Structure 1
């Protein structure tokens, strides 16, 4: 008897058993799939949880310390600021899981005779969820002059200490990360004099330092006009020990809020890096040439020796900053990548000492005009 005939006969006799096995297997697989979906529904994966919260705006139950909103700074733009008239710009730190960028924060402003409630426009500057704490910025435009400022959150009212925004016109402002006893005084000494030579303004943030370093900064404030602001010691607070890169985004956000009306251009660099104008005699002429020669340029992108991008822009083009670049690129404006052989970031290494600087031996000296190099050396000797 042929083998095919034997197989067909075997199939006919066991077809009912085969169908039963297939039906049970299908039911078994469907049951497994059902259990998987049930598990995801009850214990959603982190990504699925974030997606669900993004659509429903549901907040998970948090401990009290996870819902805290830590105030950093606030700047008020009065009537003398045409573009930002009566605007308040605030910077906060908040736990990432509290989703403060979705909550309603109300500003209570008073002009001495009455109080008015204004909603705050809140923006999250930290674009990731790696660190426990994220940087939050907020802006609100008031209808009248401001005397007292408070914020209302979850039926709780807290007074806010605000400062007047910088109103001195500046060609370029350089924002730097906070200093935690980790800056070499030689670097600060050099870059302060380089920026001062070309009408740049250096903004430093000091968390803690030795008395001698603080005295040096006081001298530089008198001779070069740098600004030094105190910075919260987040690493000394057990609740705030998971802030990304020591609070660089916090410092950059504060710097942008402070100078966004007074600075023609703003740069975000390390305190051991600096730029020099290579085509013109000042930062203003140098950057204005780039921005005006190509009308759709919104950012100038420089790269340091590690390949990390650093940005120069007009403050009007930036709403918020993360580390050293905008969270969102200027709308319909392009980024101009600067050639490293002609427009580069100079870095101050640990081999630079005072003797080298006074002899004109420092990074970028060979690219400076003789008169500029001699002027910088003369100012350092003072």
Structure 2
């Protein structure tokens, strides 16, 4: 008869081996183990629910935007999609929370609906990016959140019906932004290859803002507000801005996706300093279409990033695209990639992927990459980030065909002939000031933190450097159990707030 004590040890060792193989060893061997991590989290929550239940805690949520779709390819008819931040501590598995909505049409008829909730988050921050989707009524006129007798009306708007271009490039929110050289380069390159920039702004140097406004008038970019979140009530609640991942960058990507869901053929989710140049194709649309045609089962593409050397010019008129992009100095390393998707097939987005897209439906691009203009040398030739210097090498096999840059340079020169652009360019900053301050703080508070963000960075205010900042009327709903909701109305630009994240 086998010794009982020995049997117990065999059992423990067997279970432990399976556990570590499934959730730690296998994911590191595979090309992408994110789905295993999701399975692991789900397993932990289900196990805890079985033994301890799922107690509910009173928390707060911030509604970013709510979109209504009379017809949607993936969401169905009379669909709603809400982008919001929710506190993960509300309950053990926030996706099981039952949000109750009341939808009313133009005739006064109402229905109660419970949306499906999905999460796009990777860090340990208290607040997570959430998308709530459901179907409502034709001719929707009013939307409310309810908990029994308490109701709160939610503003909503129709998603875009048209897009300025077949490919919309959704860019991460800018804060205390001053790198106008990178914006100019990105705007002209994206226009040439059939893309349109959608740029979220929290704060930006006022002269630079004037330049972007002129580019918006010329059809290169759409500017959008990205708000700091405020609770007008519940001041003792967990502060949202310092407890959300990367300034809720995932929320901005999701918001952009939902705006263009039924309007654009493709959307990309890039940072401003991630620039894509097609290889072997004349347009973004053609390159993306080729990938999706050859891989019909996929939902998203992921382009890797490779850092490219960049020297900023002090004057806009000195910019030369053959000089900026026609060399072969790169870092011999690829970084975490960025996503391209058909918006009609995707409902939510994180920063580097969607966690609601299985690995087998994510295609990793091998024959092209994003030009990552992360650490430009300043206009005096000095390394702007001496504590994080990059090791550049000459890699001739990655060099672009310089002829494709000629028409982009001509488009830039044509815009520079505008007296309005010339006047604005004379007021643009000639040296970087905030960039190195933010990069240092971002490195410390971001990459070395369980909740990476830029809140708490020491930002010196200067009388000779003014910023335009997003602002709005902030609203808090009535106290609800377990979640009190907050939102904003009437977004606008302010010159009275300062240069803050």
TM-score interval, normalised by the smaller of the two chains: 0.7 to 0.9
Tell me if 1:75 matches 2:70: no
Q: Deviation string for 1:18-42 (max 9, x for gaps)?
A: xxxxxxxx9xxxxxxxxxxxxxxxx
Specify the alignment match of 2:396 in structure 1.
Answer: none
Structure of larger gyration radius:
1
Matches within 5 A, 1:178-189: 178-189=173-184
1:173 aligned to 162, 168, 191, which one? Answer: 168
The Cα of 1:279 is off from its aligned counterpart by 2.1
Matches within 5 A, 1:301-312: 301-305=302-306, 306-312=334-340
1:208 aligned to 183, 203, 208, which one? Answer: 203
1:158 aligned to 128, 152, 157, which one? Answer: 152
The Cα of 1:373 is off from its aligned counterpart by 3.8
Tell me if 1:239 matches 2:265: no
2:355, 2:43 → 1: CA distance?
Answer: 24
Bigger shift: residues 148-157 or 88-97? 148-157
Q: Structure 1 residues 142 and 380, CA, compared in 2 at 3 Å: closer, same or farther? A: farther
Q: Is the CA contact (8 Å cut-off) linking 2:178 and 2:205 kept in structure 1? A: no
Specify the alignment match of 1:38 in structure 2.
Answer: none
1:251, 1:101 → 2: CA distance?
Answer: 20
1:350 aligned to 376, 381, 394, which one? Answer: 376
The Cα of 1:331 is off from its aligned counterpart by 8.1
Q: Structure 1 residues 77 and 57, CA, compared in 2 at 3 Å: closer, same or farther? A: farther
Specify the alignment match of 1:293 in structure 2.
Answer: 294
Q: Deviation string for 1:222-247 (max 9, x for gaps)?
A: 11341221111149997111111121
The Cα of 1:220 is off from its aligned counterpart by 1.4
1:73, 1:188 → 2: CA distance?
Answer: 26
1:234, 1:185 → 2: CA distance?
Answer: 26
Q: Is the CA contact (8 Å cut-off) linking 1:86 and 1:144 kept in structure 2? A: yes
Specify the alignment match of 1:371 in structure 2.
Answer: 407
The Cα of 1:88 is off from its aligned counterpart by 1.2
1:309, 1:77 → 2: CA distance?
Answer: 30
Tell me if 1:122 matches 2:117: yes
The Cα of 1:293 is off from its aligned counterpart by 3.0
The Cα of 1:135 is off from its aligned counterpart by 1.0
2:89 aligned to 97, 100, 104, which one? Answer: 97
Q: Structure 1 residues 76 and 351, CA, compared in 2 at 3 Å: closer, same or farther? A: same
Matches within 5 A, 1:46-61: 50-55=45-50, 58-60=53-55
Structure with larger RCO (C-alpha < 8 A, sep 6+): 2
Q: Is the CA contact (8 Å cut-off) linking 1:178 and 1:248 kept in structure 2? A: yes
Specify the alignment match of 1:30 in structure 2.
Answer: none
Q: Structure 1 residues 59 and 380, CA, compared in 2 at 3 Å: closer, same or farther? A: farther
SS of 2:402's equivalent?
Answer: helix
The Cα of 1:146 is off from its aligned counterpart by 0.8
Aligned residues: 321
Q: TM-score, normalised by structure 1?
A: 0.75
After superposition, the CA RMSD in angstroms is 3.0
The Cα of 1:278 is off from its aligned counterpart by 2.6
Which consecutive residues of structure 2, in runs of 5 or more, have no partner in the other structure?
6-40, 307-333, 380-398, 419-501
1:85 aligned to 77, 80, 91, which one? Answer: 77
SS of 1:263's equivalent?
Answer: coil
Q: Structure 1 residues 324 and 49, CA, compared in 2 at 3 Å: closer, same or farther? A: closer
Tell me if 1:250 matches 2:251: yes
1:154, 1:253 → 2: CA distance?
Answer: 30
Which consecutive residues of structure 1, in runs of 5 or more, have no partner in the other structure?
1-25, 27-45, 354-362
2:347, 2:268 → 1: CA distance?
Answer: 14
1:216, 1:195 → 2: CA distance?
Answer: 17
Q: Is the CA contact (8 Å cut-off) linking 2:172 and 2:252 kept in structure 1? A: yes
Q: Is the CA contact (8 Å cut-off) linking 1:265 and 1:312 kept in structure 2? A: yes
Q: Structure 1 residues 108 and 210, CA, compared in 2 at 3 Å: closer, same or farther? A: same
2:408, 2:96 → 1: CA distance?
Answer: 51
1:78, 1:47 → 2: CA distance?
Answer: 33
Specify the alignment match of 2:260 in structure 1.
Answer: 259
Q: Is the CA contact (8 Å cut-off) linking 1:193 and 1:224 kept in structure 2? A: no
The Cα of 1:290 is off from its aligned counterpart by 2.0
Q: Deviation string for 1:315-339 (max 9, x for gaps)?
A: 2332321113111325863514222
The Cα of 1:52 is off from its aligned counterpart by 4.5
